[in-house]
Structure 1
Amino acid sequence: MTVDVRRADDRFKTKISWLDSKHSFSFGGHWDDANTHHGVLLVNNDDAVKPGSGFETHPHQDMEIVTWVLNGSLVHQDSTGHSGVIYPGLAQRMSAGTGILHSEKNDSWRLRGDTHTDPVHFVQMWVVPDEPGITPGYEQLEIDDELLKGGLVPVASGMDGHESAIRIKNRYAALHASRMQPGMSVELPEAPFLHLFVARGEVSLEGAGVLKEGDAVRFTATGGQRVTATSPAEILVWEMHATIS
């Protein structure tokens, strides 16, 4: 059983004129053979994109991509004909499958029709699918009301019998989210692999102490610990019952 705490400042970083991105795992030009994944989670990117900017059309293949917006709005367009605006409380999944092209931009200044200059802040997470070569797909669903009820709310899952907002093509994985007020606590699920990410705010993890915004914890063969908010916070928890061999 291991509880591996990874601090925010130790993440790989990409910072250019329009993007401030922090990578929990090896990504792009940042590579560490000892830090490529945990369970079936390969990417946990913490991104801030300036208005009027973003990721131009680019390809993906054989990946389940879940995007979770924390602040602002992100405009999505892809080669399957799907388009939409992703905002806080909206669960979104894109299955790259045999191949898909998509773009993601902070178009809030145009959508609002004002001089809005705030970045869009979001976390993008990639997990491997059960099998390669599936048909590309897209799904989104509003779950804000569920988040207001407290507790760990299923965001995306491929597990049998697991209620969730959206489905991913991995039967061993599920993503949960919780918006927490100070003093509120949740219990982590038990699984062979867990990944806890503090998307914002500050929490205390039973047995490990304070976790600040951007901190992450990789659990192996454990679970059941309590996470308690010490400030208004939002956490993302991947429950995984398999790993990449």
Structure 2
Amino acid sequence: MIYLRKAEDRGHANHGWLDSWHTFSFANYYDANFMGFSALRVINDDTIDPGQGFGTHPHKDMEILTYVLKGTVEHQDSMGNKEQVPAGEFQIMSAGTGIRHSEYNPSNSESLHLYQIWIIPETTGITPRYEQRRFDAPQGRQLVLSPDARDGSLKVYQDMELYRWALAKDEQSVYQIAAERRVWIQVVRGDVAINGTVASTGDGFAVWDEQAISVHANGDSEILLFDLPPV
């Protein structure tokens, strides 16, 4: 089964300084049919005005991944980290037993565009930790998250893998899905067809009870592919 989640059907909140699209229920947006998918709890597509950001706030027992698409995010947390994460980098934080952090756009002229993704950990009470990394290959499928941090990927406390997949125009490939696994695909940019269903920037696919998916790029494109455990 493949379900297409169109970008314009997501929840939307515009706070003036923050324009946010919610794939799943978040804050004041609630849809009982979109509470998450497998271990995925939040996929927020956020654009933040220059000089603005999220003030210090708490998290607990959540894996929080940020992927910066444009601009730079300045991060500060109660673990003592103060870092800048530029476009193209991924940042992961295990909230675990509890952390407080802020996220800010330090530019006075350029907007900040990022995905913030929350993953439910398979174990609670993890010691909080922070990592960030750049994945430089311009094309191909790169492993970004894995439970064993193999092949240079960032560690995640969940039985899942995340791939950043950059595709050239007319490129086609097949992704094999292990028995009972679920897959979520988020289209970061471009136009792709998944098993013949066409999607564009901001769209997402929920995939279950499939043995494989065929990915075809109608133009230069990038997707995030989450290989997730059964519900």
Q: Same fold by TM-score, threshold 0.5 exceeded?
A: yes
Counterpart secondary structure, 2:8? helix
Say if 1:69 and 1:123, in contact at 8 Å, map to a contact too. yes
Aligned partner of 1:93 in structure 2 is 92
Residue 164 of structure 2 corresponds to residue 177 of structure 1: yes
Choose which of 178, 194, 215 in structure 1 pairs with 2:203: 215
**Alpha-carbon shift at residue 127 of structure 1 (Å):** 0.7
> Structure 1 residue aligned with 2:192, among 182, 203, 225?
203
Q: Deviation per CA, 1:81-127: give whole Å up to 9, x if none.
A: 11211123322100000111111111123xxxxxxx23111111111
Which residue of the partner structure matches residue 4 of structure 2?
5
SS in 1 for 2:131: strand
Against the structure 1 CA distance between its residues 163 and 224, is the aligned structure 2 distance closer, same or farther, given a 3 Å change threshold?
farther
1:46-195 aligned within 5 A? 46-109=45-108, 117-144=109-136, 147-148=137-138, 150-158=139-147, 160=148, 162-170=150-158, 172-191=159-178, 192-195=181-184
Tell me whether 1:33 sits opposite 2:32 in the alignment.
yes
Which deviations, in whole Å up to 9, do the C-alpha atoms of 1:63-93 show, x marking residues without a partner?
0011111111111111101121112332210
1:44 Cα deviation from its structure 2 partner: 0.6
Counterpart of 1:50, as a letter, is D
Greater than 6 Å deviation, 4+ residue runs: none
Which one-letter code corresponds to 1:125 in the other structure?
I
Q: Return the offset for 1:187.
A: 2.7
Q: C-alpha distance in 1, partners of 2:81/2:176?
A: 33
Identity %: 37
Alignment partner, residue 17 of structure 1: 16
Q: Which moved more, 1:57-66 or 1:84-93?
A: 84-93
What one-letter code is carried by the residue in structure 2 that aligns with 1:156?
A: L
C-alpha distance after superposition, 1:157-184 (max 9, x if no partner): 11x58535210111x1111112222122
Shift of 1:28: 0.7
Higher mean C-alpha deviation, range 84-93 or range 59-68: 84-93
Task: Using structure 2 for the length normalisation, give the TM-score.
Answer: 0.93
Matching residue's letter, 1:235: I
Q: Which runs of 5+ in 2 are unaligned?
A: none
Paired residues, what number?
229
Q: CA deviation at 1:16?
A: 1.2
Secondary structure, counterpart of 1:188 in structure 2: strand
Partner SS state of residue 222, structure 1: coil
Kindly indicate whether the alpha-carbon contact (under 8 Å) linking 1:41 and 1:128 is maintained by their aligned counterparts in 2.
yes
C-alpha distance in structure 2 between counterparts of 1:186 and 1:123, whole Å: 25
Structure 1: gaps of 5 or more residues: 110-116
- Aligned partners of 1:65 and 1:186: how far apart in 2? 29
Cα contact 1:189–1:239 (8 A) shared by 2: no
Q: Give TM-score, length-normalised by structure 1.
A: 0.88
Q: What is the CA-CA distance between 1:189 and the residue it aligns to?
A: 4.0
* Cα distance in structure 2, aligned partners of 1:6 and 1:48: 20
